[in-house]
Structure 1
Amino acid sequence: MHLTAPTVHGNLLSVGTSNIDSTGSVLGFHEDGRIAYRHELPREVKWKPASRDGEIYVAGLDGGLTVVATDDGRTLWQSAGADALVGSPRVVEGRLFTIDVRGRLKSVDADSGSLEWGRDLDEVVSLPTASPNTNN
């Protein structure tokens, strides 16, 4: 089993898991260690969940996103992904940001899961080219 780094939100702590059968879960814990919720997922969770206003945003290794309510662990919305995500999702001002293995940055409406925009980063980021050192 793989565990993500924890996310702290209010008086709860959440951790994502990945299992050998390519499934996962997100677990919420109270301050005293009691389980607040457990939500099983059909995908592995490799990245630290994001949190906002009683919601946990979980990015699956398969690119899928799931939003879980911290009060009872119910699914608020989920979406399938086309490509594996890299790194933890981030929630900023009602938008959920992710990046996939193809270098595509996406902005998703955090309330509905609707894609707002996507941008291929290789269009705007380029590696510097090596040039001869002329300062010898």
Structure 2
Amino acid sequence: MTILFPAARRAARFSRTLAIVAGVSTLLLAGCSNFFLGKENLAEAVDLPSNPAAVSFARQWRQTVGDGTDGKALGLRPLALKRQIFAVSNDGELMAFTADGNKNWARQTGHPIAAGVGGDGRVVVVGSENGLLMAYAADNGKPLWTYQLSSEIMAAPTVVNGLVVARAIDGQVTALDARNGSLVWKQYIGVADLSIRGNARALFFD
């Protein structure tokens, strides 16, 4: 046996009445649709016209870098600079390819990568899950320098005007000299109380 207070009883009666009205309305609408939208009133489907502006793509080459991301949501996008294409995998494999898909060089960074690749044609930079920035020569993959940030790097470093700028997930933005990795400036921009992990790189405007 269920005991309801008066307000609850009125609410229950109202709910039953509303359900009955909704059911009747549904039947009426269904009947109207059958009457007004019978088969004879339906528009005949037509084929879409061809699009003269459509563009088709053909694969020119394909290469595999490392063992993927192991299911992690990482923004490890390739970087194309001066007829070279750079790519890195989460397991630390950094590779450079020519424009026609031939491997130019490969380097094992020795760290799980969470951000990359950034570069300017002379230097390429990647960031690890433990906040380590690593720079390599773009033409041959020679290690140039490393710099430890305050926390994990999710966004690909930006290399512009001789600076390497990287943001750690704790809100610390660091600018380094691209030639030797020395600190130029550091700024804390903060992190919202409610935020998601992102991988958008910094933008520069003159």
Maintained 8 Å contact 1:29/1:35: yes
Q: Which has a greater percent of helix?
A: 2
| 1:26 maps onto 2:94 in alignment | yes
Task: Name the CA distance, whole Å, in 2 between partners of 1:121 and 1:81.
Answer: 15
Which of 105, 117, 135 lines up with 2:185 in the alignment?
117
Task: Name the CA distance, whole Å, in 2 between partners of 1:41 and 1:72.
Answer: 14
Which of 114, 118, 140 lines up with 1:72 in the alignment?
140
- Higher RCO (Cα < 8 Å, 6 or more apart): 1
Structure-2 change in CA distance of 1:63 and 1:28 (3 Å): same
Q: TM-score, normalised by structure 2?
A: 0.54
CA RMSD in angstroms, aligned pairs only: 1.9
Q: Which runs of 5+ in 1 are unaligned?
A: 128-136
Which residue of 2 is the match for residue 8 of structure 1? 80
User: Number of residues paired by the alignment?
Assistant: 121
Q: Which has a greater percent of strand?
A: 1
- Residues 94-125 of structure 1: CA deviation (Å, up to 9, x unaligned): 11111112111111111111111211113xx8
Q: TM-score, normalised by structure 1?
A: 0.79
Task: Name the CA distance, whole Å, in 2 between partners of 1:36 and 1:91.
Answer: 21
Task: Name the CA distance, whole Å, in 2 between partners of 1:69 and 1:53.
Answer: 9
**Could you list the runs of 4 or more consecutive aligned residues of structure 1 that deviate by over 6 angstroms after TM superposition?**
none
The one-letter code sitting in structure 2 at the alignment partner of 1:62 is: N
Percent identity, aligned pairs only, is 21
Which residue of 2 is the match for residue 134 of structure 1? none
Maintained 8 Å contact 2:150/2:170: no
Q: Which runs of 5+ in 2 are unaligned?
A: 1-67, 194-206
Task: Name the CA distance, whole Å, in 2 between partners of 1:95 and 1:5.
Answer: 21
